[in-house]
Amino acid sequence: MIPTGTKLSAAVAAAALAAAGLAAPAQAEGELNVLTWEGYTDPSFVEPFTEATGCEVTPTYVGSNDEFPAKLAGGGGVYDLVSPSVDTTTILMKAGLVEEIDTGRLARWDELYEQFRDHVGVNHDGGVYGVPFTWGSIPFMYRADMFDTAPTGIAGLWTDEALAGKVSLWDDKTNIYIVARMLFGADIDVYDLSDDQLAQVRDKLIELKPNIRKFWSTAGELVNLYANGEVAISNTWGGYQSALLADEGIETIEFIPVEKADGWADAWQIVKGSPNEDCAYEWLNYAIAPGGQCGVVGVTGYSGSNPVVLRECLDEATFEALNQADFKYIDGLVLWEEPARVDAYINTWNAVKAAQ
């Protein structure tokens, strides 16, 4: 699993900013309206960026990847940058909602993991449309004081009577993937399920609903559910919510189920027609330089896309704990891809939520 990260101070983020060569007089004064995840625009590393560039960052947070195409299609001109996962970046590319990125304007592009630079979620029709930022897993997590025996898989969510009303799942279609692996075997292609397979997954998830306390959407929402003793087990954004709970003195344990865990990677994309292109490139450069990488890893506990700069701010133990030294970890995950029939997956998940 990806363990919790060490929270870095604003001073460390500022030092990393200077190391990145951005602690210079403002260059691209303007604004950036950003559609993103919690933790990706934390003040601890955004404030030094704004001070150095003059670019003001205004974030809007999402709780699901499905929100990115929905919000851009409904008026994408509101935003300059988005940071979807690689199963959704491709949707935005194909729909013409994001701009091709000039990697020649990115000073540290060649330092990023090759696996991410070459990923289908970053490249489209010979061009680059995303800048890899963070990556990690979607493990499961449980409160240590609510289990006598550590769970190893998800089948117990349906069968353990002690979990009635104590389960929470992320409000996202990706729940389909792990349930499909449970039903049809760990090696099934979860991104190309048939109608019959989707129906079986749907029915299995609906069967679980009596045990579901709530579908969570934000990191804070899940943290509150655990803190209030309402939830014993859930899936989680690996490393992030467990760290927040640890800050509150609540011990949770993350684990990779026997059904395998999903792997994810998020990338920054420039929204088509953004009027703030100079600030957008300032941010893209910062995101993969020490300021952005050390900042986001320190706040979220996720792993970063640039191992070169992360060695400047992480000690060796943390670097290895975040699987930055050995990329084999992510090869053991099922890295997200856009489903072959994404609408069918969204409809399946919506049917689960709507079921009584």
Tell me which architecture the domain covering 140-260+337-354 has in CATH.
3-Layer(aba) Sandwich (3.40)
Would you give the distance in Å from CA 125 to the centre of its chain?
A: 25
- Chain center to CA of 289: 19
How do strand 131-138 and strand 212-216 relate by DSSP bridges? Answer: unpaired
297 and 316 Cβ atoms separated by less than 8 Å: no
Classify burial at 226, counting beta carbons within 10 Å of its beta carbon; exposed 0-12, middle 13-18, buried 19 or more: buried
Give pLDDT < 50 ranges for the chain: 1-26
What SS3 class is residue 199?
A: helix
Q: Tell me what pLDDT residue 9 has.
A: 40
d(CA 350, CA 297): 32
> What's the pLDDT at 2?
33
And the tokens for 220?
A: 């804070």
Maximum Cα interatomic distance, the chain, rounded to a whole number of Å: 61
Domain with CATH 3.40.190.10 in the chain: 10-135+264-325, 140-260+337-354
Main-chain dihedrals φ then ψ at residue 272, nearest 5 degrees:
-55, 130
Cut 0.85: pTM above it: no
Strand spans (E) along the chain:
30-36, 55-61, 81-82, 123-124, 127-128, 131-138, 140-143, 167-170, 212-216, 233-235, 252-255, 262-270, 303-304, 334-335
Secondary structure of 53-94 as H, E, C letters: HCEEEEEEECCCCCHHHHHHHCCHHHCCEECCECCCHHHHHH
Is residue 308 a contact partner of residue 7, using CB atoms and an 8 Å limit?
Answer: no
Q: Which two tokens stand for residue 245?
A: 């709970």
Assign domain 10-135+264-325 to its CATH superfamily: Periplasmic binding protein-like II (3.40.190.10)
